[in-house]
Amino acid sequence: MYSLDDTIAAIATSIGQSGVGIIKLSGPQAPAIARQIFRPARHTTIFKPHRLHYGTIVDPDSGQILDEALVVHMPQPHSYTRQHVVEIQAHGGVVPLRQILQLVFSLGARPAEAGEMTLRAFLNGRLDLAQAEAVLDIIEAKTDAALRVATGQLSGGLSAEVSELRALLLNQLAFLEASIDFVEDEIPFQDITGPLFRVSERLEKLLKSADRGLIYRQGVKAAIVGQPNVGKSSLLNALLRGNRAIVTSIPGTTRDTLEETANVGGIPLVLVDTAGIRANSGDEVERIGIERSRAALAQADIALLVVDSATPLNSADWEIEQLVRGKPALLVINKTDLPAAATFEPPADFLPQASRVRISATTGQGVEQLEAAVESLVLGGQVTSADTPLMSNPRHKALIQRALSSTRSAIAAQQSGLTPDLVSIDVRDAVESLGEITGETVTEDLLDTIFSNFCIGK
């Protein structure tokens, strides 16, 4: 079992040089430890709650001043962990922060484990499990859209929906168990099929939002493929709005894959610039690059096949087209700023599943249209109603799927006339699945797995 009786401490900001670095303490001894090492500029022994106090951090044994600092005490339960929390805002150098932290440890605090601050917030009831996981999603958000999904989950939108559905299922489970326990008594009839159908419909609605939420959270990998010198690296630079890849007129400049993330309509798009694919190359390094390009294409979620509109398609273009067939893709017709591009049009059977976008990667013409096409391809025209919270966590999606499957099984069992004890098995499984999302039913192993992904200090 987790202990809440000791005091933990950690550096809560990134290690490195910065203007300010924060050390956070949480636990019953946090204020006492702070009083031993902090000397306020104004002589007072009282920490006014939620007020920043200016002073110095001093080693109580040697009297040595370690740093100037601002210190704030947030008394329980009005803090992140619902325990006494003290934050020491010192200068953001590695040496002063570590010296202050070691001083805190010498006075009775212990090093916090990864995610232990947020774990205490969960165990003390400030956050449910879904909200606690949203904290990590906020920290790791790569786009504005990903941040909005995470903050929506932190505010309790998903938790409220899940808790309401779980309460509805518990109602039906209570009736079923009463029917089992009190067979001889007259239990008023209760139609459980109707409520189970309504729960099923709302779970389906949540699942429809899951893929979109996961896209915003995890991103999509897009392989930029094509022959050498068709403008793949120029396209990467255009989508990144910067010069990340080396671009020259010499074919085969890119010898290895290069990954960068672009924000396309709120989607973190992981762009993989690949070496130009051609059948025969006398350069061993280039051959290795081509093999890596093929591997990157196989692993990508979508493909951007780039062709040069200033030259006719040839057999190499068709070979690459065969590699891309069957994968979600866009045909990017590049170099449209050149005069020869005016009459260029690939035949209808060239990558027929893909939308076609004409661009000039060097001038930027058509790049916005390409981004819109990528967004449409990735989201597939999905529209989520405003009253449905977006679900962005794979664990939550799997549990919603399990709850939906169990609810459907309960409906089928009820309609088949099975006894209440058999119907209740599926209803109970659905209840437990939803409880794992918010933390009503959760194991210590699961908590260890979830919070081990957090950084130390959060």
How is the chain split into domains, by residue range? 8-128, 142-213+393-438, 219-379
| DSSP bridge partners of 68 | 56
Whole-angstrom Cα distance, residue 215 to residue 203? 19
Whole-angstrom Cα distance, residue 264 to residue 376? 11
pLDDT for residue 379: 85
Q: In Å, what is the CA distance from 354 to each residue of 23, 277, 304, 324, 379?
A: 52, 19, 9, 10, 15
- Give the CB-side neighbour count of residue 363, counting CA atoms within 13 A: 10
Split at pLDDT 50, 70, 90, the class of 386 is very low
Rounded to 10°, the helix 193-218/144-154 angle is 140
Structural class in CATH, domain 219-379: alpha beta
Amino acid (1-letter code) at residue 279: A
Q: Of the ranges 183-187, 348-352, 363-367, 409-413, which one carries the lowest mean pLDDT score?
A: 183-187
Asked if residue 237 lies in contact with residue 258, where contact means CB atoms within 8 angstroms, the answer is: no
Asked if residue 17 lies in contact with residue 88, where contact means CB atoms within 8 angstroms, the answer is: no
Look up the CATH number of domain 8-128.
3.30.1360.120
Give per-residue pLDDT as tens, 130-176.
999 999 899 888 888 888 889 988 988 899 999 999 999 999 998 88
Whole-angstrom Cα distance, residue 314 to residue 416? 62
User: Which has the higher per-residue pLDDT, 251 or 421?
Assistant: 421
Rounded to the nearest angstrom, the gap between the alpha carbon of residue 78 and the centroid of all alpha carbons in its chain is 28
pLDDT for residue 388: 61
Percent of the chain with pLDDT over 70: 88
Helix (H) or strand (E) holding 71: strand 65-74
pLDDT for residue 109: 95
Q: Is the pLDDT of residue 333 over 90?
A: yes
One-character DSSP codes across 323-372: HHTTS-EEEEEE-TTSGGGGG----TTSSTTSEEEE--TTT-TTHHHHHH
User: Which has the higher per-residue pLDDT, 215 or 426?
Assistant: 426
Q: Which tokens in the block code for residue 54? A: 């200016």
SS3 labels along 246-260:
CCCCCCCCCCCCEEE
Split at pLDDT 50, 70, 90, the class of 254 is very low
In the sheet where 267-273 sits, what is the strand order? Answer: 258-264, 267-273, 220-225, 302-308, 329-334, 355-358
User: Which has the higher per-residue pLDDT, 216 or 56?
Assistant: 56
Mean of per-residue pLDDT scores for the chain: 86
- For residue 156, the SS3 value is coil
> What value does the CA radius of gyration of the chain take, rounded to a whole number of Å?
29
Whole-angstrom Cα distance, residue 12 to residue 140? 15
The b-or-e profile of 136-164 (16+ CB within 10 A means b, else e) is bbeeebbbebbbebbebbbebbbbebbbe
What is the average pLDDT across 257-280?
78
Give per-residue pLDDT as tens, 63-80.
999 999 999 999 999 999
pLDDT for residue 243: 63
Pairing mode, if any, of strands 267-273 and 220-225?
A: parallel
Whole-angstrom Cα distance, residue 245 to residue 291? 19
User: Which CATH code of 1.20.120.80, 1.20.120.430, 3.40.50.1950, 3.20.20.140 fits the domain covering 142-213+393-438?
Assistant: 1.20.120.430
Whole-angstrom Cα distance, residue 305 to residue 317? 9
